Amino acid sequence: MDFELSEEQKAFQSLAYKFALKEFPPFAQECDRQEKYPREIWQKACEAGLVGIAIPEEYGGPGAGWMETALITEQLSRIDLGLGLAAVAATFGAENIINYGSEEQKKTYLPLLPAGKAIFAGAYTEPNAGSDVAGTTTRAAKDGSDYVINGSKTFITNGTICDYMVALCVTNPESPKKTQRHSLIIVDANSPGITRMKIHGKMGIRASDTAEITFEDVRVPQKNLVGKEGNGFHQLMHFFDQTRIMVASQGLGLAQGALDLALKYVQERKTFGVPLAANQAIQFQLAEMATRIELARNIIYKAAWKADNGQLDPSLNAMAKFYAGETAVWVTDKALQMHGGYGYIDEYDIQRFYRDAKILEIYEGAKEIEKITIAKRLF
């Protein structure tokens, strides 16, 4: 087994970390406090080649794999999860076009992403259909050469700032199988009949845009259907099987960043005349934090390697996402505790890491759903 990264992978890793170190600090507190999407960060990330790295070369991207995606996501999230999402989530939903789109769709939409000319969103979750994806009720009815879409979505990343979205809609309501009723459809986010409302007051990742979206008689050409009609549920499950690697990498990076902050603080902070780092109880906690992070790193890198080598493993990806999310929450809790009262005020970055961490146990499949995915494959 070879655990060594290639020179190209090391270059992506270094590029992402240096970019985040330079660009994120001036915006992190402001975007968190004001719930402000960092459009300038997104534009610079595109110019640096950090957006759409999985897009094939023939469509304007570098054609990198899931390992490179994991490395970049980890390093950006290490400095700030919310700002990192401006880069890694700018393509969210467009992965379905890479997987299942027509040649015309790929040529039309994919080049826009690395060039910084468009942002995508995945319009999947509904008020009454989160983990129960097959319970989605937004309807796309045929009318002439169009679909007419009616319904609503919620918790949509990039919802108010996206240019296009890939929406999960019911197109075959008469199908006896619940999992064969849906399709994925590309929607111009500025189409008449679309209302987008920003969700305010999130606990964390406040720099990332999240919205409620309503469709009222929204007309979309039928040529915007992604893949085969009625296959939307299965296409989306494959999408989640892949992108859990990215979300797991967010947890890994955030946990590593929290450990970085803790290590710096305990060496600077003195109690009873000596640095906190001299306390063996602190050392033991730091050792356990580093161990859990390394365990998460190994399972994520294995999952990414398998995905890149034609061995996509839904169970392993679910393990990676579940474990990395829990690790992020646990590590940030320990890191904040080491900061004492100072960790409780927003002058110190660790409180933002603490708030950001919880979403990693919820979105892209709550950790309970990950456990179901794992358990089903044990028998």
Task: Point out the residues that are catalytic.
Answer: 364
What would the two tokens of residue 169 be? 């809609």
What would the two tokens of residue 143 be? 């009318």
The answer to whether 152 and 212 have CB atoms below 8 angstroms apart is yes
Strand runs labelled E in 138-234: 139-143, 146-157, 164-170, 182-188, 194-198, 210-221, 225-226
Planar angle of CA 155, 77, 109, nearest 5 degrees: 60
Q: Classify each residue of 325-352 as buried b or exposed e, where b means 16 or more C-beta atoms within 10 Å of its C-beta.
A: bbbbbbbbebbbebbeeebeeeebbbbb
Query: Where are the alpha helices (H) located in the chain, listed in sequence order?
Result: 7-23, 25-34, 39-47, 66-79, 81-88, 95-100, 103-109, 232-268, 280-308, 314-339, 350-357, 367-376
Q: Please state at what angle helix 81-88 crosses helix 7-23, rounded to 10 degrees.
A: 130
Neighbouring CB atoms inside 10 A of 29's CB total 15
